[in-house]
Amino acid sequence: MADSKVESRNVATTPSAPRVLRVAVPTPLRRLFDYRPKGPPPSGGWQPGLRVKVPFGQRQLVGIVMACDDHSELPANQLKPIGSRLDDEPLPADWLWLCRFTARYYLHSLGDTLHHALPAPLRQGRPLEARTRERWRLATSLEQALAGLERAPRQRSLVELLAQHSHGLVTSAITVQGFTRAQLQGLLGKGLIACQQEPLTAGDNWRGPLLAEPALPLNREQAAALAAIHESLDRYHPCLLHGVTGSGKTEVYLQLIEGVLAQGRQALVLVPEIGLTPQTLARFRKRFRAPVVALHSGLTDLERLDAWEAARSGRAPIVIGTRSAIFTPLARPGVIIVDEEHDGSFKQQDGLRYHARDLAIARAHREAIPILLGSATPSLESLAQARSGRYRHLRLTQRASRHAPAKLELVDLRGRPRQGGLIAPVIDAIRQALKAEGQVLVFINRRGFAPSLACHQCGWIAECRHCDSRMTLHRQPPRLVCHHCEHQTPQPDACPACGSADLRPLGAGTERSEETLATLFPDTPVYRIDRDSTRRKEAFDQLLTEVRRGEPGLLVGTQMLAKGHHLPHVTLVVVVNADAGLYASDFRALEQSAQLLVQVAGRAGRAERSGRVLVQTLHPDDPNLRLLADSGYDALAYQLLEERRLAGLPPYRHLALARFEAVREADAQELSQAAGEALRQWLDKRQLAVHCLGPVPAPMERRQNRYHLQLMLSSDKRSALHETGAWLIGWLENSASRRVRWSLDIDPMTLS
C-alpha cells in the first residue's frame, strides 16, 4: 500500500536519527502523535514497528512507531521526547500492514487497532521475545558426579534422576519431584550439571517426518480441489471450497497444509468460535507430528503470547484460532484457511467491528499466498465472488461416507396440538428412531423453558423492564430472564395486571422439550445442551463424550449442538421450529437461518446409517422454505442473490451502519437527526453516489434502558462509502455530546 512506501523512503533518508517519531497510541482518536526520539537508537535504526513508551496526558502509554520523519507540525518546544524504547527489533512489516489496513477499512483508530491486535503482555510493555524455560542435564558421567556427593543425599538423588533422562529435564519436572532450585544451583556451581534456556512453546525441536498418520486416499472431487490449489501455492489465489456437510473438506485442508509445510511454510487456520473444539484440534494433532498451536479464549495471557511468538518466529508450523487469530503474524506464511467461512462469529460486533474472513482475504493478497474458504453453506458474499470468477469455485458434491446428506422434510404444524413443541407424528418418528438404536437430535433455538409467560385471563405477557422484549421463563431454577440484558425476576404466582393465577408458558424452549421428552421416553437418556447446561466447559465435553459412545439417546440443544460437532450416531434430526428467519426484518435473516438448518440437518446420518431430518413449520408453503427443502441450499442461495441484486443489498451494494444510543431518547434522536442532515447536505455538495437512510429506530429500540437509533449508508462504490463514513466520523467527533454513544459499522452483519 502507499503508506508502506512512504515509510521506507523515510527510513532510507533518515537511517538512524530521525527528528520525529510518529506514534500510534491506544486512544480512540484517529491520528498519530509526534514525539522526539530519546536514548540510543535501535541497532537497525529507528523504523516503523518499534514499540515505545510515551507520555500521554498524565499517563505513560505503550505506542508503536508508525513513521519516522524530520518535520513535525508541532513547534519544536512542544515536541515531547518518548519515555523509553521497548524493542530493538520492530514488529513484522506484514503485521503492521494488516493493522493499518484494518484501521483504514473499518475507519477505526490505528492505535486502538494495533492494541487490539497485540497479545496483552505486549500491550503492557513486556519485551518482545519468547519466554524461555531452563532444561537441566548431567554434565559429566554418573559415576563422576556421584563420587563428589557422598555427604549430599538430596543432590545425589537429583543426579540419579537426571541420569535417567538423556534429553534433560525442565525445572518444573524436577521441582515437582520435591527437589529445590538451591539444589540445582549447587550442582551447577560444582560443574556437575548444565543448564540450557529453550523457548517455552512447542515447535522448538520438531524435525523429521511431517505426518503422524498417513493421509486418506482422496476421492476424485477432493483430489481435483487439492490439485487446483497446489497448482499455485506461491501467489494470491482465493478459492471457495464449497462442499456438502461430510464431504471431506477437512481432509482437503489437512493435505493442503501438508504440502505447505513440506515447503517449509506455515498455515493459519481460522475456525468459528463454536468450531474450535478439542475434537477439531485432536484431528489436526493426530495427523501431524508438527506442532499445532491453538489460539482460543481458554488461554491465559502468557500462553497466548507464547503462541503468538511461536507463530511470529516461525517455530509454529500450524496455527489454529478463532476470529482474533487473523492478527497472528507468521514468519513464513504459506496458506490461510477459513473453515465455515459463512459463520457469524468471524465478525466482531463491538469496538473494532472487523470481519476476520474479509481481513483474511486482504492479508492473503498482501502476502501473496493462497486462501481457502470452506463451507457447506457459503455466505452470499463468497458465493457471488465465486460465481463472478474472482474466487475459484471448488465443489465437493459427494459425502465421503456412503450416504447423501438427508433431505429436509417439512412437517405442517398448523392446528396440531404440541407437546413440548413437538406434534404427534414427529414424536412417533422419534420413537421409531430410538427403537432402531439411533440417537435423535432435537434442535430448538431457544434456551429456557418457554419464550414467554402469559396470563390466560387478561392477555398480560411478562416483559423486560429495561428492553422492548419479553422475558423467557426458566425452570432450572425457576425465574424469568431477559436474554437481551440478563435482567432476572422471580416467577410471579399471579398475574400482576389482573391477579389471576392462570399464568401459562407460551411456546417451548430447550428445558421444556427436555422435560417432555424425558416424560415420553422414560427409559432413554435425554441430554440437554445449551448455554445454561454447559456453563462449565468440562460439562460440555463430558456430555459429548457420553453421547459419542453411541447408546440410543435424545439430544436437545440449541445451535451450540447444531454446528461443528461430529455426532456420528444421530439418525434423526428434528427442527422444532424453522420459522424464525422466514419473515424477520433483517435482510440476512433468511440466509442465516437456511445455513443453520442445513448445518443442523448435516448432523444426521454421518456414519453407517442414513438419516432423516424433520422440520416443523407453520409455513409449509413458504416458497423459500420449499426451495431449500426441495432443491437445497445452493438453489435458495442463488435465488437470494438475485433478490439482493434487485433490492440493492450486499453483496451488490455496500453498507455502513451508524448506531446511536443514549439513556434519553431525545438525545439519541437529536444527534442522529443532525448527523443525517449534515451528511445529506455534504453528499449533495460532493455529488457522491451514496444513499443515506434514516435515522430510524433500531429493531429493538430500547435495550438495557438505552434508546437505539441508526442511520444507514449505502453505495455501489466502496470508495465513496468510505469517504462518506470518514466524513461522518469526523463530524461526529466534533459534534457528539458525551450523552450519546455512537459507532460506525462497515459491512454490518445485522441491522439490529
Q: What residue ranges bind ligand ADP (CB under 6 A)?
A: 216-219, 222, 243, 245-251, 400-401
- The three-class DSSP label of residue 219 is coil
> Segment near Zn ion (CB under 5 A), from 315-323, 333-341, 374-382, 481-489?
481-489
Note whether 339 and 269 are within 8 A (CB): yes
- Please write down the HEC assignment for all residues of 67-127: EEECCCCCCHHHCCECCEECCCCCCCHHHHHHHHHHHHHCCCCHHHHHHHHCCHHHHCCCC
Q: List the single partner that 222 binds among Zn ion, ligand ADP, none, CB under 5 to 8 Å by kind.
A: ligand ADP
Q: List the single partner that 460 binds among Zn ion, ligand ADP, none, CB under 5 to 8 Å by kind.
A: Zn ion
Task: For residue 420, count CB atoms less than 10 angstroms from its CB and return exposed for 0-12, middle for 13-18, buried for 19 or more.
Answer: buried
| Site string (457-476) toward Zn ion, x via CB under 5 A | xx-x---x-xx---------
Q: List the single partner that 464 binds among Zn ion, ligand ADP, none, CB under 5 to 8 Å by kind.
A: Zn ion
Cβ of residue 347: shortest distance to ligand ADP, in angstroms? 22
Provide the 10 A C-beta neighbour count for residue 303: 18
Query: Closer CB to ligand ADP, residue 230 or residue 686?
Result: 230
Q: List the single partner that 57 binds among ligand ADP, Zn ion, none, CB under 5 to 8 Å by kind.
A: none
Cα–Cα distances (Å) from 313 to 259, 294, 329, 383, 385, in that order, read: 20, 16, 9, 35, 34
Provide the 10 A C-beta neighbour count for residue 1: 10
User: Which residue in the shown chain puts its C-beta closest to ligand ADP?
Assistant: 248
Q: List the single partner that 248 binds among ligand ADP, Zn ion, none, CB under 5 to 8 Å by kind.
A: ligand ADP
DSSP one-letter code for 419? B
Among 231, 243, 575, which residue's Cα sits nearest to residue 421?
575
Cβ of residue 4: shortest distance to Zn ion, in angstroms? 47
- Strand pairing of 266-270 and 318-321? parallel
**Residue 498 in the binding site for Zn ion (CB under 5 A):** yes
337: its cell numbers: 484457511
Query: Closer CB to ligand ADP, residue 26 or residue 405?
Result: 405
Cβ of residue 450: shortest distance to Zn ion, in angstroms? 17
Q: List the single partner that 216 binds among Zn ion, ligand ADP, none, CB under 5 to 8 Å by kind.
A: ligand ADP
Cβ of residue 566: shortest distance to ligand ADP, in angstroms? 7
**Residue 700 in the binding site for Zn ion (CB under 5 A):** no
Judged by CB under 5 A, the residue of 500, 519, 631, 681 near Zn ion is 500
Query: How many alpha carbons fall within 13 Å on the CB side of residue 568?
Result: 8
**Residue 482 in the binding site for Zn ion (CB under 5 A):** yes
325: its cell numbers: 487469530
Query: Closer CB to ligand ADP, residue 245 or residue 322?
Result: 245
Q: List the single partner that 251 binds among ligand ADP, Zn ion, none, CB under 5 to 8 Å by kind.
A: ligand ADP
Judged by CB under 5 A, the residue of 68, 455, 561, 720 near Zn ion is 455
Cα separation, 169 vs 160, whole angstroms:
12
Q: Is 747 left (phi over 0), alpha (psi -120 to 50) or beta?
A: left
Q: Crossing angle of helices 356-367/93-105, nearest 10°? A: 140
Q: Report residue 501: phi and psi, to 5°.
A: -90, 0
Judged by CB under 5 A, the residue of 131, 395, 487, 653 near Zn ion is 487
Provide the 10 A C-beta neighbour count for residue 227: 11
Query: Closer CB to ligand ADP, residue 245 or residue 513?
Result: 245
Note whether 751 and 701 are within 8 A (CB): no
Query: Closer CB to Zn ion, residue 418 or residue 487?
Result: 487
**Residue 453 in the binding site for Zn ion (CB under 5 A):** no
Cβ of residue 254: shortest distance to Zn ion, in angstroms? 44
Cβ of residue 678: shortest distance to ligand ADP, in angstroms? 49
Cβ of residue 273: shortest distance to Zn ion, in angstroms? 23
Cβ of residue 502: shortest distance to Zn ion, in angstroms? 8
Note whether 421 and 512 are within 8 A (CB): yes
Q: List the single partner that 137 binds among ligand ADP, Zn ion, none, CB under 5 to 8 Å by kind.
A: none
Query: Closer CB to ligand ADP, residue 373 or residue 692?
Result: 373
Cβ of residue 243: shortest distance to ligand ADP, in angstroms? 5
Judged by CB under 5 A, the residue of 74, 485, 678, 696 near Zn ion is 485
Cβ of residue 206: shortest distance to ligand ADP, in angstroms? 25
Single-letter code of the amino acid located at 229: I
> Segment near Zn ion (CB under 5 A), from 426-434, 453-461, 603-611, 742-750?
453-461
Cα separation, 398 vs 224, whole angstroms:
13
Note whether 52 and 84 are within 8 A (CB): yes
Cα separation, 247 vs 400, whole angstroms:
5
Cβ of residue 595: shortest distance to ligand ADP, in angstroms? 14
Interacting residue ranges for Zn ion, rule: CB under 5 A: 455, 457-458, 460, 464, 466-467, 482, 484-485, 487, 495, 497-498, 500
